[in-house]
Amino acid sequence: MIQVQDLCKSYHDKKRGTVNAVDRISFVCQPGEIYGLLGPNGAGKTTTLRLLSTVLTPDSGMAIVAGHDVARQPSLVRANIGFLSGDTGLYRRLTGREILRYFGSLYGIEKGLLNRRVQELSNILSMEDFIDARTDKLSTGQKQRISIARTVVHDPPVLILDEPTAGLDIIASRAIMEFILQARSTGKTIIFSTHVMSEAERLCDQIGIIHQGRMWAHGTQADLRRLYQCDDLESVFVRAVNLEPLPSLRV
C-alpha cells in the first residue's frame, strides 16, 4: 500500500527561485488498486513518483510505501518497489533476456526461478520476437517493454510507473495496459502517471489531478465526474486544472 501525507518537495533554481514541485500532497493507494496521477506538464507527477521511489528525499511530510517510510527506510522501500522512470536506461550491448537475468540476479533470485520469471514476462509482454536481440537494435516500444519487465523482474508488491506508455503505439500501449491490469488482479499496489485520458479511464480505480504541485482533486472516476459535472475524464481534467482547488477536496 502507498500512504502519502502532506508531502513536500521544492527545488531551488537560480533563475526561477524556489519551485514548489510537490506541495502538501496526500493520498492513499490500496493493494489491488491502480492510482492514476494526471496533471499538465510541470505539475509535479514525476517529482511525486521519485519521492515515492526514494530517488528524492522529501522536504517534509510522510510517505509510507509497502509498510516502510521513504525517508527513514529507503532500502526497504526499494526492495519492495518496481520503479519505471522516463530515463530508465538499458545496456545497449546486452539482449533483453541478458538484462533481465542480470537485474534478477542482483535481487538474489535463484537461477531456475529467474529463468522461469523471464519467460513469464516475455509471454505477458509479448517479447518473444525480440527478447534475444541487442537492445540498441530495438524500437522505442520494444525497449519500453524490456524496461517494464526489468522494473518488475523481482515481482515487487508495489509498482511505480512514470508515463509507462509514453511514445508507444496502440498495440504496445495495450500490451502494457494489459500487464498493469494483470498486476492489479494479483493484488499489486500500482501508481502511474499519464497524459492519455483513455488509458486513465480504462485503468484507474482512483485518480489524483495534480497542478502546480498541489492535489487539485482526487477520487474515483465517478466521484470526479459528479464533482465537475462532466461525462468524460478529459473534460474533468480540463475543468479541474482551470479552476481553483475545491475546498471540499483540497488535500
Q: Would you tell me which residues interact with ligand ATP (CB under 6 A)?
A: 11, 13, 19, 21, 39, 41-47
Which lies closer to Mg ion via its Cβ, residue 46 or residue 53? 46
Which lies closer to ligand ATP via its Cβ, residue 45 or residue 214? 45
Strands 189-193 and 34-38: parallel
Which lies closer to ligand ATP via its Cβ, residue 51 or residue 64? 51
Tell the smallest beta-carbon distance from residue 207 to ligand ATP (Å).
Answer: 14
> How many Cβ atoms sit within 10 Å of the Cβ of residue 247?
6
Tell the smallest beta-carbon distance from residue 117 to Mg ion (Å).
Answer: 29
Site for Mg ion in 61-100 (CB under 5 A): none
Give yes or no for a contact between 35 and 190, defined as CB atoms under 8 angstroms apart: yes
Q: Is 47 in the site for Mg ion (CB under 5 A)?
A: no
- String of DSSP letters for 3-46: EEEEEEEEEEETTTEEEEEEEEEEEEE-TT-EEEEE--TTSSHH
Which lies closer to ligand ATP via its Cβ, residue 96 or residue 213? 213
Q: Is 54 in the site for Mg ion (CB under 5 A)?
A: no
The pair phi, psi for residue 248, each rounded to 5°, is: -70, -25
Q: Quick one: what does residue 47 bind among Mg ion, ligand ATP, none, with the CB cut-off 5 to 8 Å set by partner type?
A: ligand ATP
Q: What's the CA gap between 158 and 190, in Å, rounded?
A: 6
Q: Quick one: what does residue 156 bind among ligand ATP, Mg ion, none, with the CB cut-off 5 to 8 Å set by partner type?
A: none
Tell the smallest beta-carbon distance from residue 42 to Mg ion (Å).
Answer: 8
Q: Which of 4, 46, 114, 200 binds Mg ion (CB under 5 A)?
A: 46
To which residue does cell 521513504 refer? 70
In our burial notation (b when 16+ CB lie closer than 10 A, e otherwise), range 124-145 reads bbbbeebbeeebeebeebbbbb
Q: Which residues pair with 111 in a beta bridge?
A: none
Tell the smallest beta-carbon distance from residue 121 to ligand ATP (Å).
Answer: 26
Q: Which residue is nearest to Mg ion (CB)?
A: 46
Q: Which residues pair with 159 in a beta bridge?
A: 82, 190
Tell the smallest beta-carbon distance from residue 242 to ligand ATP (Å).
Answer: 17
Total binding residues toward Mg ion, as defined by CB under 5 A: 2
Tell the smallest beta-carbon distance from residue 46 to Mg ion (Å).
Answer: 3
Give yes or no for a contact between 138 and 115, defined as CB atoms under 8 angstroms apart: no
Tell the smallest beta-carbon distance from residue 205 to Mg ion (Å).
Answer: 21
- Cα separation values, 5 from 2, 43, 63, 65, Å: 10, 18, 6, 12
Which lies closer to ligand ATP via its Cβ, residue 39 or residue 104? 39
Q: Binding residues for Mg ion, per CB under 5 A?
A: 45-46
